[in-house]
Amino acid sequence: MPITPTYFQQAMPAISRPSDAPPTSTTASPIPPTRTHHFPSPKLRLHLEDLNHEGTSIFLSNIKASEDLPQQIQTVLNLLYTPSCPRPGTRSVTLILRQYNGLAYTTGTDLDDDHKEIHINLDYILRVGAERARHEVLGIICHELVHCFQWNARGSCPGGLVEGMADYVRLNAGLAARHWKQEAEGEWDAGYQHTGFFLQWLESRFGDGTVRRLNGCLREGGYDEGRVFGECCRGRRVGELWREYREELQRRGEGASGTEKGRTIPTDTPPKHGDA
High-pLDDT (> 70) share of the chain, %: 79
Residue 3 lies in a domain: no
Range of the domain at 245: 19-251
Tens of pLDDT, residue by residue over 226-258, are: 999 999 999 999 999 999 999 999 998 865 443
pTM: 0.84
Tens of pLDDT, residue by residue over 170-219, are: 999 999 999 999 999 999 999 999 999 999 999 999 999 999 999 999 99
> What is the model's pLDDT at position 36?
86
Q: Which amino acid, one-letter code, is at 114?
A: D
- pLDDT confidence band for 33 (50 / 70 / 90): low
Tens of pLDDT, residue by residue over 161-179, are: 999 999 999 999 999 999 9
Residue 96 DSSP code: E
3-state SS assignment for residue 45: strand
- pLDDT confidence band for 8 (50 / 70 / 90): very low
What CA–CA distances, in Å, run from 80 to 53, 150, 151, 178, 248?
35, 7, 9, 24, 26
**How far apart are the C-alpha atoms of 96 and 49, rounded to whole Å?**
7
Given a contact cutoff of 8 angstroms between Cβ atoms, the answer to whether 222 and 153 are in contact is yes
**Gyration radius from the chain CA atoms:** 18
> What is the model's pLDDT at position 35?
73
Q: How far apart are the first and last CA of the chain?
A: 36
Residue 2 lies in a domain: no
Residue 7 lies in a domain: no
The residue with greater pLDDT, 5 or 16, is: 5
> What is the model's pLDDT at position 86?
97
Residue 268 lies in a domain: no
**How far apart are the C-alpha atoms of 16 and 197, rounded to whole Å?**
20
Residue 261 lies in a domain: no
> What is the model's pLDDT at position 111?
84
Domains contained in the chain, number: 1
Torsion (CA) 211, 44, 269, 262 in degrees, nearest 10 = 50
> What is the model's pLDDT at position 271?
60
pLDDT of 11 higher than 70: no
- pLDDT confidence band for 9 (50 / 70 / 90): very low
Given a contact cutoff of 8 angstroms between Cβ atoms, the answer to whether 124 and 98 are in contact is no
Beta strands at 115-121 and 104-108: parallel, antiparallel or unpaired? antiparallel
Find the helix or strand (DSSP H, E) in which 121 lies: strand 115-121
CB atoms within 10 A of CB 170: 31
Given a contact cutoff of 8 angstroms between Cβ atoms, the answer to whether 221 and 147 are in contact is no
> What is the model's pLDDT at position 270?
59
Residue 11 lies in a domain: no
Tens of pLDDT, residue by residue over 79-113, are: 999 999 999 999 999 999 999 999 999 999 988 99
Residue 154 lies in a domain: yes
Residue 45 lies in a domain: yes
- pLDDT confidence band for 5 (50 / 70 / 90): very low
Q: Which amino acid, one-letter code, is at 4?
A: T
